[in-house]
Amino acid sequence: MRKMLFVLPLLVFTAVMFAQSGGLASVDGGGCFIQSLTAEDAPNDAGGGIDLTWTVAAGTALPDSMILERFDHDGIWSPISTLAPASGRKTDVGLDNDQEYSYRIVPFYNGAGEEPCEAVTAVPQKQWIHTGRIGMLVTLTLISLVIFYYIEHGKRGGKIYIRRIAGLTAVEDAVGRATEMGRPVMYIPGIMDMDDIQTIASMVILGRVAMKTAEYGSPLLVPTCRSVVMSVAQEIVKESYLQVGRPDAYQRESINYITDDQFGYAAGVDGIMVRQRPAAIFMLGTFYAESLILAETGRSVGAIQIAGTAMPSQIPFFIAACDYTLIGEELFAASAYLSREPKLLGSLRGQDIAKLFFMIVIVLGVLTATVGEAWEPATKVADFLKTITRVE
Amino acid sequence: MSWEVIGIWLGALLSLCLYSFLYKDNPFYKFAEHLFVGMSAGYWVIYTIMNVLIPNWWQKLVPMEGGFQPIWLVPGVLSLFMLFRLIPKLAGLSRLSLALIVGTGAGISITAMLQTRALAQVNGTIIALGQGGGWFNWVSNIIMVTGVVCGLVYFFFSKPHKGVVGGAANIGITILMVAFGASFGYTVMARISLLIGQTQFLLFEWLPTMGIHL
Amino acid sequence: MRLAIPLMITFVAGMIMILQFFVPATQPMGDSLQEWYMIVASAAIFLGAVNLIQVHTHKIRFKLKNWKYSPVTLIGFAVMIITGLVFGIEADLPFDYLFQQMVAPMAATMFSLLAFFVASAAFRAFRASNWRATLLLISAFVVMLGRVPIGSMIWNKIPLISEWIMQYPNMAGQRAVMIGAAMGMVATSLRMIFGVERSYLGGAD
Amino acid sequence: MSTFIEKLGNLDRRVIFVLMALAVIIPLALRMNLPIPIDQGPSMDLYNMIDALPEGSRVLLSFDYDPSTMPELQPMAIALVQQLMTKDIKIVSMALWPMGVSLGNEALIAVSDSLGREEYVDWVNLGYKTGGGVLIVRLGSDIKSVFPVDYDGNSIDDMPVMQGVNKLGDLDMIISLSAGEPGIETWVMMAGDRYNLPVGGGCTAVSAPQLYPFLATGQLIGLLGGLKGAGDYETMVRVGVENPPPGIAIAGMAAQSVAHLVIMLFIIIGNIAYLSEKKRKGGAK
């Protein structure tokens, strides 16, 4: 429950939604070719930026070029940029926070500078809340609360149902079959590094699969595309073999690094497949184009293949070439499904509630937007929902 | 014989070695595969040193204009800890580096995924069903919205897929299948493009070196 | 206890990255953290390099199956490292030449194998075994036709139908997958940051 | 008879491989040429969006691919550069993929020479830096700190094309030619959404479906998908241009068509075999 306390600071941020405008300075040109020049603190930044906008008066002779000048605490006007002689906007960056800066525009006719227009002043400041992301902050806070609530609920022994996931019920059979045939099991954790969430999910599943191969006593091959993934995989598999009481069966050398290169990796793994002929192949993690190269070769050596990825573009290939495919979120449900750990089941329940929330937002939004075409006030709801889901 | 021609021959012969895999595993493929693995691994090591470690770390630790920035020792030490994996006694220290990688990755993912993959997509789905006008757009928009909602129902794990939920999940998986079929069909072209590219190389760059002009 | 410090680092790093997204004032902190993380993640490649050398020298020493090819890997690796260190990586020098003339064509060849695999996978998998498989088959078929000029020569509505499939059912499916997967990623990331999931550190709990 | 058809259903995949190879080699070797009708849609949107940019606008062109996806993306690069330079739009180019720099440079130099444009005045290639999304965020606050010098090592401070360009927000549009990640999606997430810049570009056909949702939400303003997109774009850019250079993509389209037909033929054969087997087994019951 303590973990939920972290949301408090987030809620405080949300509460301080007050506007933090650095003050808008603006002048009207009054006879100058610049009709108006405004300067204001650049919004939603870490400070050091001032937004300038200017419009050029219609009907006056346009200068050949214009120079934007800045007056800072050194006490001199210095040119910072050449502008095209048209209306425009510019953000001056790299300034010191909480210092006053003035700007003016000097017109150039035939190479000679003329009288500048009136100067404007602004003070750059850093912002403590990104105003375009408040809706998302609220959503993230709510989702986090729900997920942590159900994790706690699960830990305290609350009963949570989990539906059948075909690809995962097949894990045991696949490993068993490999043992019967006296052939190895291969586990491919995708081609991304440990900072990728799918790789992390894959590593957790690897722990479970390793327990099965340890129990059944079939060799487990884990070729990896990233060094860090290799060392994490070694650690996890070793731990699993230890837990099942078969530390003697753990073979560090069967978990190795191939190459960081996407297709070099595919070539290497294809080679291992045709030579070692694994009877079961798991492909879980982030995959790109190599997905089908691996899956078709695996298929050709007669392995049972269980694949899973959240990459929408690769799912169709896995479906076509593998016996079982975990689609999108099913990959993330796998660790809960295989381990039946209450906290993971709880987290899954939390994800479901979050999806339900999004479904309600969509349905409500669509209904009100549709009704809104005939009855104006309903659009307000739709607009509100669109606003909170918009993120800058 | 110029370096360019030698290069074309190297590329062409290695390509043919790899294509031989389509028939079956053979010594030519084994040779090319092993060479590919070794060379690409070497390439990435050099690449990492030259493009990441030197400009983004070393040159910040010891800037060219002189001075020494001790703060950059921190990532240096953490990198070293990562390599301690190789020394069993010190392997535990690599957990600190791993923790940094995983923590940063997780933190970036949360906001990026929620923003781009969830909220932006929900936002895009909130449309008026009559948008575009005409019965055809009504039907299309209804299919779209129902598809998204039912697709999400399919991903419900903690509710049995029975009754209404089961029905919706069924519609959901059906839409997903249509989507996957479409995505597969759309991709075929790209895959063939790659083969076209390689074939063009062999036909129009390699064959001419032997005096064969198509 | 041995996990306390790593878990704390994960928590702090994760929270900084979340914070810098919502609090502009903390962006510089987030930027530095990302640079550090990039350095540490990159430096780990040496672990892989050592492993590669170990695996192949082991194969050669014990004359394991196919050991005769291991020297090829080791020589390829050494040649790239040496040319890279001696000549640098600029264009038109040996390192770049070897990459352009050998590594790049091999990558392109492996990639192009997909044209063959797509054909064999489509042939085998796209069978009208039940109505759902039939739908998958039809949508793949129509979109495939819509992508090439021949489709519109057969019937000029085919590209439109294919476009419609991409814009509506396909988009709906993609969105459902994306939103669902995003929830999985958010939940997994949260479990990482708050130390609920820690098996990746080696050893459950 | 039925047994022959059923045998076809279990055809050795190597037969398919041979036919696929022939389907590509023959049209290329004979230089078959089929006309390309242009689709309305995302390719046209991109064309129109660029066409509407005023002269002198600045566009960031990012080459986020490598030689393996050159067949699809290089023709796009050339066609886009052609359109931009013809319209006198300044190009600030860079790459999120290391190999993209030299590929991009080839396209830039080739077109720039043919149209008489000047490096540093009309275009610049900043080169490659690692970092993907992180890099983009840093470009968002300061381009010069990330790229103090361009690809050739010249300081970007003195370049006319970089005058007034300090951060991403100073540009008018971002175009990414992307073969994966980091690429167009990264630009959408890290630049488009954050700095409210229009993002468009081209991608391999494989990644196009997953970018469609971004088109619908307006996060992407236009998209060229694969060789077809490249072919369309080549055709559009060539309209009204005297003596256009030969299109690379158009040549490959014939091979595409034949190869597609072969695959579809196999799907049909597979299904006939499957159905006939099912029927026979059903009849035997």
Tell me the C-alpha distance between A255 and D132, whole Å: 29
Tell me the C-alpha distance between A255 and A237, whole Å: 9
8 Å CB contact of C199 and A328: no
Taking the CA of residue A383 as centre, how many other CA atoms within 13 Å lie in the half-sphere pointing to its CB?
7
Tell me the C-alpha distance between D69 and D203, whole Å: 9
What local confidence, expressed as pLDDT, does residue A203 receive?
94
The pair of structure tokens assigned to D159 is: 């370049």
Residue A313 C-alpha from the chain's centroid: 17
Q: Within this chain, do residues D73 and D129 fall inside the same structural domain, yes or no?
A: yes
Query: CB pairs below 8 Å between A and B: how many?
Result: 175
Q: Within this chain, do residues D142 and D230 fall inside the same structural domain, yes or no?
A: yes
8 Å CB contact of A267 and B105: no
Would an 8 Å CB–CB cutoff place C150 in contact with chain B? no
* Identity of the residue in A151, A197, A295 whose CB atom sits nearest the CB atom of C189: A197
Q: Within this chain, do residues D153 and D188 fall inside the same structural domain, yes or no?
A: yes
Tell me the C-alpha distance between C82 and B43, whole Å: 10
What DSSP string describes B8-40? HHHHHHHHHHHHGGGT---HHHHHHHHHHHHHH
pLDDT by position in tens, chain A (length 392): 455 555 555 544 444 443 344 456 776 655 577 778 888 888 888 888 888 888 877 666 667 667 788 887 777 888 777 666 566 777 888 888 888 888 888 887 766 777 777 888 888 888 888 888 888 999 999 999 999 999 999 999 888 899 999 899 999 999 999 999 999 999 999 999 998 999 999 999 999 999 999 999 999 999 999 999 999 999 999 999 999 999 999 998 899 999 999 999 999 999 999 999 999 999 999 999 999 999 999 999 999 999 999 999 899 999 999 999 999 999 999 989 998 999 999 999 999 999 999 999 999 999 999 999 888 888 999 999 998 888 87
pLDDT tens sequence across B27-60: 999 999 999 999 999 999 999 999 889 988 998 8
**How many CB atoms are located within 10 Å of the residue D55 CB?**
8
- How many domains, in total, are found in chain B? 3
What local confidence, expressed as pLDDT, does residue A16 receive?
47
* Identity of the residue in A316, A358, A359 whose CB atom sits nearest the CB atom of B183: A316
- Name chain C contacts of D266, Cβ cutoff 8 Å: 119, 122-123
Type of residue at B97:
S
Residue B75 lies in a domain: no
Q: Within this chain, do residues D132 and D234 fall inside the same structural domain, yes or no?
A: yes
Task: Quote the mean pLDDT of chain B.
Answer: 91
- Name chain C contacts of B2, Cβ cutoff 8 Å: none
8 Å CB contact of C111 and D68: yes
Report, as an integer, the average pLDDT of B94-116: 92
Q: Within this chain, do residues B104 and B35 fall inside the same structural domain, yes or no?
A: no
8 Å CB contact of B121 and D217: yes
| Through-space distance between the first and last CA atoms of chain C, rounded to whole angstroms | 10
Q: Where are the domains of chain A?
A: 24-122, 163-339
The pair of structure tokens assigned to A124 is: 């750059």
8 Å CB contact of B42 and C15: no
8 Å CB contact of B56 and D188: no
For helices C70-87 and B27-48, give the axis angle rounded to 10 degrees.
30
Among D77, D269, C130, C111, smallest CA distance to B187 is for: C111
Q: Within this chain, do residues B23 and B47 fall inside the same structural domain, yes or no?
A: yes
Mutation choice for D interface testing from B25, B193, B195, B198 by most D CBs within 10 A: B193
Structural element, H or E, at residue A55 = strand A50-56
Tell me the C-alpha distance between A269 and A263, whole Å: 10
- Name chain A contacts of B19, Cβ cutoff 8 Å: none
DSSP SS3 for D224: strand
Helix residue spans in chain A (DSSP H): 7-15, 134-155, 166-181, 197-216, 227-244, 262-276, 290-300, 315-321, 329-339, 342-372, 378-389
* Identity of the residue in C27, C110, C188 whose CB atom sits nearest the CB atom of A46: C27
Taking the CA of residue C7 as centre, how many other CA atoms within 13 Å lie in the half-sphere pointing to its CB?
15
Residue B77 lies in a domain: no
Tell me the C-alpha distance between B112 and B110, whole Å: 6
The CATH fold assigned to A163-339 is Rossmann fold (3.40.50)
- Name chain D contacts of B191, Cβ cutoff 8 Å: 206
Residue D36 lies in a domain: no
> How close, in Å, is residue C89 to chain D by CA atoms?
11
Instruction: Kindly report the three-state secondary structure assignment for every residue of C91-139.
Output: CCCHHHHHHHHHHHHHHHHHHHHHHHHHHHHHHHHCCCCCHHHHHHHHH
Among A303, A325, C114, D225, smallest CA distance to B180 is for: A325
What local confidence, expressed as pLDDT, does residue B183 receive?
93
Among A42, A28, A46, A56, smallest CA distance to A122 is for: A42
* Identity of the residue in B124, B186, B193 whose CB atom sits nearest the CB atom of D227: B193
Q: What is the ipTM of this complex?
A: 0.87
Tell me the C-alpha distance between D96 and A36, whole Å: 39
Q: Within this chain, do residues B108 and B140 fall inside the same structural domain, yes or no?
A: no
Residue B36 lies in a domain: yes
For helices A342-372 and B134-154, give the axis angle rounded to 10 degrees.
170
Q: Which residue of D has its CA nearest to A263?
A: D68
Which domain CATH number covers D114? 3.40.50.10160
Return the CATH superfamily for domain A24-122.
Answer: Immunoglobulins (2.60.40.10)
The answer to whether the CB of B191 falls within 8 A of the CB of D206 is: yes
Q: Within this chain, do residues B110 and B93 fall inside the same structural domain, yes or no?
A: yes
Among A161, A214, A225, smallest CA distance to A189 is for: A225
The answer to whether the CB of B206 falls within 8 A of the CB of B19 is: no
Q: Above 50 in pLDDT, residue B188?
A: yes
- How many domains, in total, are found in chain D? 2
Q: Within this chain, do residues D15 and D154 fall inside the same structural domain, yes or no?
A: no
* Identity of the residue in C125, C183, C199 whose CB atom sits nearest the CB atom of A204: C199
Among A80, A76, A77, smallest CA distance to A66 is for: A80
The pLDDT-based confidence of C202 (bands split at 50, 70, 90) is: low
Q: Within this chain, do residues B169 and B98 fall inside the same structural domain, yes or no?
A: no
8 Å CB contact of D212 and C167: yes
8 Å CB contact of C149 and D34: yes
Range(s) of the domain holding residue B206: 129-214
Beta strand A185-188 with A220-224 is parallel
Tell me the C-alpha distance between C84 and C94, whole Å: 8
Among C13, C38, D135, C34, smallest CA distance to B53 is for: C38
Q: Within this chain, do residues D211 and D81 fall inside the same structural domain, yes or no?
A: yes
For helices D248-284 and C131-147, give the axis angle rounded to 10 degrees.
160
pLDDT by position in tens, chain D (length 285): 567 777 887 888 999 999 999 999 988 887 776 666 666 678 888 998 898 888 888 999 999 998 778 878 888 998 899 899 988 899 999 999 888 888 888 889 888 888 888 888 899 999 888 777 777 877 877 888 788 888 877 888 888 888 888 888 888 999 999 988 888 888 887 787 777 788 999 998 877 877 888 887 888 889 998 877 888 888 788 766 655 555 566 667 788 889 999 999 999 999 999 998 888 877 554
Q: Within this chain, do residues B136 and B214 fall inside the same structural domain, yes or no?
A: yes
8 Å CB contact of C25 and A13: no
Would an 8 Å CB–CB cutoff place C28 in contact with chain B? no
Q: Within this chain, do residues D47 and D27 fall inside the same structural domain, yes or no?
A: no
Q: Within this chain, do residues D62 and D193 fall inside the same structural domain, yes or no?
A: yes
Q: Within this chain, do residues B119 and B137 fall inside the same structural domain, yes or no?
A: no
Of residues C1 and A177, more confidently modeled: A177
* Identity of the residue in A47, A148, A310 whose CB atom sits nearest the CB atom of C184: A310
Residue B73 lies in a domain: no
Dihedral sign computed on CA atoms, order A232, A237, A240, A246: negative
The pLDDT-based confidence of C160 (bands split at 50, 70, 90) is: confident
8 Å CB contact of D270 and C127: yes
Q: Within this chain, do residues D13 and D137 fall inside the same structural domain, yes or no?
A: no
- Name chain C contacts of A351, Cβ cutoff 8 Å: 183-184, 186-187
Of residues C156 and B166, more confidently modeled: B166
Residue D219 C-alpha from the chain's centroid: 17
| Through-space distance between the first and last CA atoms of chain B, rounded to whole angstroms | 22
8 Å CB contact of A3 and C194: yes
Would an 8 Å CB–CB cutoff place A138 in contact with chain C? no
Tell me the C-alpha distance between A200 and A190, whole Å: 10
8 Å CB contact of C177 and A348: no
- Name chain D contacts of B123, Cβ cutoff 8 Å: 217
Tell me the C-alpha distance between B154 and A328, whole Å: 11
The pair of structure tokens assigned to D54 is: 């005023």
What local confidence, expressed as pLDDT, does residue A22 receive?
45
What local confidence, expressed as pLDDT, does residue A245 receive?
93
Type of residue at D149:
V
Q: Within this chain, do residues D273 and D139 fall inside the same structural domain, yes or no?
A: no
- Rounded to 10 degrees, the C-alpha dihedral A184/A309/C109/D185 comes to -160
Give residues with Cβ within 8 angstroms of D238, minimum separation 6.
D244, D247
Among C196, C199, C195, C203, smallest CA distance to C11 is for: C195
Residue B192 lies in a domain: yes
Residue D275 lies in a domain: yes
Range(s) of the domain holding residue D138: 42-245
Q: Using alpha carbons only, what angle is made at residue B99 by residues B93 and B101, rounded to the nearest 5 degrees?
A: 115
pTM summary value: 0.82
Surface-to-core class of residue A155, CB atoms within 10 Å of its CB (0-12 exposed, 13-18 middle, 19+ buried): middle
- Name chain D contacts of A311, Cβ cutoff 8 Å: 210
Q: Within this chain, do residues D132 and D199 fall inside the same structural domain, yes or no?
A: yes
Residue B15 lies in a domain: yes
Q: Which residue of A has its CA nearest to C183?
A: A351
Respond yes or no on whether the N-terminal peptide bond of residue A9 is cis (omega within 30° of 0). no
Dihedral sign computed on CA atoms, order D158, D161, D164, D168: negative
Would an 8 Å CB–CB cutoff place C127 in contact with chain B? no
Query: Token pair 């605490």 is at which residue?
Result: A73
The answer to whether the CB of D70 falls within 8 A of the CB of D103 is: yes
Q: Within this chain, do residues D13 and D104 fall inside the same structural domain, yes or no?
A: no
Tell me the C-alpha distance between D105 and D82, whole Å: 13
> How close, in Å, is residue B105 to chain C by CA atoms?
7
8 Å CB contact of A91 and D209: no
Residue B76 lies in a domain: no
